[in-house]
Amino acid sequence: MPELPEVETSCRGISPHLIGRTIIRSRVSQPQLRWPISNEIIQFDSVKIESVSRRAKYILIKLDFGWIIIHLGMSGSLRILPIDTPTQKHDHIDLLLDSGFILRYTDPRRFGAWLFTDSLANHPLMSHLGPEPLSDEFNSSYVIGLIKKLQSRTTPSSLVIKPWLMDNKVVVGVGNIYACESLFEANIHPSRKVISLDEKEINILVHTIKTVLMRSIKEGGTTLRDFTQSDGKPGYFAQRLFVYGRKNETCRICGHMIEQIKQSQRTTFFCSICQK
Ligand SMILES: [Zn+2]
């Protein structure tokens, strides 16, 4: 599944080909993704692209009269291709650009989304999002403030750190892989109660989340296939992980066996020696 670093890399990959261009029209072969593709997108006719950005795991294309919100779902990918590139089975949307190229969306499992809105701020997908993990707004005082609020409630504290980090209202874009990896690198056990973390641990954790994500974005930028290639494979990058997906393999730090548990329906990987 594309996580924040892949979405950021996709965004950076397609941006230079889109900004300032005009979408002549769209070509939609499968209008039913996670939700139906917005009619405005299906009916595009000479639309100017002003900018491309990312918010959480959404790619936002700003047009002269609104926004396209793209989510890559479980298996979506975006490529820039020559306009006459034949479509294959899982290619669902082409935006035809005045440059002679297309932006093509491919998504075998069709859990992605292509929606149009004229107001981003009020859009239900955007309105309850927490801060970006790489922004200055996501810092230890912010996290300490949230935890203080939890402590002042009457039922403070069944909240567990790993699912809490994956809550978009706390911070956006920390998916399962990066929650597991960040907690490992911060030496924090994934089952710790949120309110049990001390200030030093929060400082380390916030710093680690940023470092792990930035490292991955950097690796993505160097290992990801060129966005203008047409080999049809999505460019998700494999990377060197410490715990995620490594059940029963040995910890790269202490040599102990990596363990696996379920938390809020998601699989968590951790090392019980390194993480306390
Ligand atoms: Zn270990």
Catalytic residue among 55, 193, 252, 266: 266
Give the CA diameter of the chain.
62
- Residue 6: active-site member: no
For residue 147, count CB atoms less than 10 angstroms from its CB and return exposed for 0-12, middle for 13-18, buried for 19 or more: buried
Percent of the chain with pLDDT over 70: 91
From ligand 1's centre to the CA of 188, what distance in Å?
Answer: 11
Distance 176 CA to ligand 1 centre (A): 19
Number of residues assigned to the chain: 276
Q: Please check whether residue 42 lies inside any domain of the structure.
A: yes
pLDDT confidence of 3, banded at 50, 70, 90?
Answer: confident
* pLDDT tens string 209-233: 999 999 888 877 554 444 554 444 4
Percent of the chain whose predicted confidence (pLDDT) is above 90: 80
171 and 94 in a common domain: no
CA dist., res. 55 & res. 259, Å (int): 33
The reply, when asked if residue 240 is annotated as ligand binding, is no
Given 56, 84, 117, the domain boundary residue is: 117
**Is position 225 within any domain?**
yes
Instruction: Assess if residue 170 is contained within a domain.
Output: yes
Task: State the pLDDT at residue 230.
Answer: 42
| Tens digits of residue pLDDT in 50-61 | 999 999 999 999
Residue 79 domain flag: yes
For the question of residue 266 being annotated catalytic, the response is yes
Q: What is the pLDDT of residue 154?
A: 63
| CA 180 to ligand 1 centroid distance, Å | 13
- Confidence at residue 79, expressed as pLDDT on a 0 to 100 scale: 92
Whether residues 107 and 45 fall in one domain: yes
128 known ligand binder: no
130 within a domain of the structure (yes/no): no
CB hemisphere CA count around 204 (13 angstroms): 12
Q: 194 lies in which domain range?
A: 140-270
pLDDT score recorded for residue 202: 98
Tell me: pLDDT of 272 over 90.
yes
**Do residues 86 and 145 share a domain?**
no
Within-domain flag for 127: no
Same domain, yes or no: 11 and 89: yes
In the reported structure, the alpha carbon of residue 268 is separated from the centroid of ligand 1 by a whole-number distance in angstroms of 15
How many Å lie between the centroid of ligand 1 and the Cα of residue 114? 42
Residue 50 known to be catalytic:
no
273 CA from centroid of ligand 1 (Å): 5
Q: Tell me the per-residue pLDDT of 147-196, one tens digit each, with 9 for 90 and over.
A: 988 877 765 568 999 999 999 999 999 999 999 999 999 999 999 999 99
2 classed as catalytic: yes
Query: Is residue 258 one of the residues assigned to a domain?
Result: yes
Which residue from 31, 37, 99 is spatially nearest to 68, judged by alpha carbons?
A: 37
The mean predicted confidence, pLDDT, of the chain is 91
Q: Is the pLDDT of residue 92 over 90?
A: yes
Q: How far apart are CA 147 and CA 202, in angstroms?
A: 10
pLDDT at 204 over 80: yes
Per-residue pLDDT band for 48 (boundaries 50, 70, 90) equals very high
Give rounded-to-5 percent helix, strand, coil for the chain.
25, 25, 50
The residue from 3, 6, 8, 181 that is catalytic is 3
Residue 122 in domain? no
- Phi/psi at 15 (5° precision): -50, -55
Choice among 57, 79, 104, 162 that is catalytic: 57
Residue 85 sits in a domain whose CATH number is 3.20.190.10
Do 110 and 146 lie in a common domain?
no
Q: How many domains does the chain have?
A: 2
